[in-house]
Amino acid sequence: MVELRGVDGGFEIRRRWGRVGTAGRTSAEIYPSMEVARAAWDKLLEHRGRRGYVEADVAELDVARRLLAWHLAARRAPSQAAFPAALGF
């Protein structure tokens, strides 16, 4: 995940990555102005696009997170995990 946000004294690009279900790793870089931050943001997204990454839909991520949570619960207690009908499957 990559996000650009304003912080005290500048703008921050925060990146999170790692295996699903773990805390993962985080990197944050602070830029003095929006123009500099936006240039770094565009460069980062261009690089990620060349590597095959695509922008994710927030609704799809929410469904994926709920499905993963159900899957992990089913592995811990298979007899007690009812499949979430609200996911639309």
Which of 52, 40, 34, 50 has the alpha carbon at shortest distance from 2? Answer: 40
* pLDDT tens-place string over residues 23-77: 889 999 999 999 999 999 889 888 878 878 777 676 777 777 788 887 787 777 7
My answer on whether 42 and 76 are in the same domain is no
**Structural domains counted in the chain:** 2
My answer on whether 36 and 72 are in the same domain is no
My answer on whether 40 and 66 are in the same domain is no
Q: Which domain holds residue 44?
A: 1-55
My answer on whether 66 and 26 are in the same domain is no
The answer to whether the predicted template modeling score (pTM) of the entire model surpasses 0.85 is no
Bridge partners of 30, per DSSP, are: 12
**What is the rounded distance in angstroms from the CA atom of residue 88 to the CA atom of residue 10?**
42
My answer on whether 48 and 61 are in the same domain is no
Whether residue 5 has pLDDT greater than 70: yes
